[in-house]
Amino acid sequence: MNGAHDLGGMHGFGPVNPDPNEKLFNHEWERRIFAMYFATLASDIYSIDELRKNIEIMDPVHYLSSSYYEHWVESIETSLIDRKIVTKEEIAERMKKIDKEAA
Amino acid sequence: MGAHHEPPAELSTRVKAIESLLIERGYFAAEALDKIVQIHEHELGPRNGAKVVARAWADQDYKKWLLTDATAAIADMGYSGAQGEDMVVVENTPDVHNLVVCTLCSCYPWPTLGLPPTWYKAPPYRARAVIDPRGVMKEFGLDVPEDVEVRVWDSNAELRYLVMPMRPAGTEGFSEEELANLVTRDSMIGVAVALSPSAV
């Protein structure tokens, strides 16, 4: 499937700008979603190709304007919902509860 | 581009919500996630790949094995597993310089190099490595002479490439450990050459 992820040869993205002092993770949520990627694959909920596919079907504008680990959140959430492990509503409800507890 | 945007604050809450629902349903324990992070943040990394390259520099038989069956030769060092199941090592020579990219995503040999740097996963490198490799390498301070052929390898989900940089001059008699100190992550991606002994 081609799409926004198929970047080879595209013009206009500017210089590479490597940062020699970058950290492996910039936010705690990046660590957690990274680990959940392994843990959910180990539970055989879905395959790695399914996760990759669900990154590739992201809205192209969102794909290009979001960070690497944000792609993972999108893909893992989509896959979990597809597989009926959780529903969109359950995630929304749980988010409200977490926000309330933190307030 | 994308990677420079600050992600929305709700992402953190969303990830917490997913984690707590999955733990509640028994898919994994929070401690298992901690352990996975610990391994990838602190135990894997490019030092593994550096040891592979140093051994190949020091041992011609091992080098031959590495260049013909990288997966087995690397597993012999104890580095195998997820995102490194099928490996190909490409050798830099005075005539050929190799560069690795993953245009579609971020495929990278985790057991030997650890997790990829942000620039490897971001659109500018993925877009340009295949169309302007010399220009990209210049941005890393590497000017590959015109008479050296540049080969670009596009990694994919099944196959991961590792560059074996050229052994620097003035390293005769170096131990494998001393040699490994000269092998950087960037030299195994191909955006740099190995360090010269005077640089260490």
Instruction: Report pLDDT digits (tens) over B13-32.
Output: 999 999 999 999 999 999 99
Q: Which chain A residues have a beta carbon less than 8 Å from that of B139?
A: 15-18
Give me the count of residues in chain A. Answer: 103
B36 and B83 assigned to the same domain: no
Q: Which chain B residues have a beta carbon less than 8 Å from that of A58?
A: none
- Asked if residue B4 has pLDDT above 60, the reply is no
In a domain, B2, yes or no: no
Q: Residues of chain A whose pLDDT is less than 50?
A: none
Which residue of A22, A30, A32 is the best one to mutate when testing the B interface, meaning the one whose CB has the most B CBs within 10 A?
A32
Model confidence band, residue B179 (pLDDT cutoffs 50, 70, 90): very high
3-state secondary structure of B91: strand
How far is B53 from B75, CA to CA, in rounded Å?
13
Which DSSP symbol is given to B168?
Answer: P
Model confidence band, residue B5 (pLDDT cutoffs 50, 70, 90): low
A10 in contact with B, Cβ within 8 Å: yes
Q: Among all residues of B, which ones are annotated catalytic?
A: 102, 105-107
In a domain, B160, yes or no: yes
B95 and B30 assigned to the same domain: no
Binding residues of B for Fe(3+): 102, 105-107
Q: In chain B, how many domains are there?
A: 2
B37 and B130 assigned to the same domain: no
Rounded to the nearest 5°, which phi and psi values hold at B161? Answer: -105, 150
In a domain, B1, yes or no: no
- Asked if residue B200 has pLDDT above 70, the reply is yes
**The domain spanning residue B158 has which CATH number?**
3.90.330.10
In a domain, B79, yes or no: yes
Query: For residue B60, what are its two tokens?
Result: 């011609």
Query: Can you give the residue range of the structural domain that contains B93?
Result: 45-199
- Asked if residue B2 has pLDDT above 50, the reply is no
User: How many whole angstroms from its chain centre is CA A31?
Assistant: 12
Q: Which chain B residues have a beta carbon less than 8 Å from that of A36?
A: 15, 18-19, 22, 28, 33
Q: What is A28-102's CATH number, 3.40.50.10860, 2.20.28.120, 1.10.472.20, 3.20.20.70?
A: 1.10.472.20
In a domain, B73, yes or no: yes
pLDDT value, residue B196: 96
Instruction: Report pLDDT digits (tens) over B99-125.
Output: 999 999 889 998 899 999 999 999 999
Confirm if A69 and B122 have CB atoms less than 8 A apart.
no
Model confidence band, residue B7 (pLDDT cutoffs 50, 70, 90): low
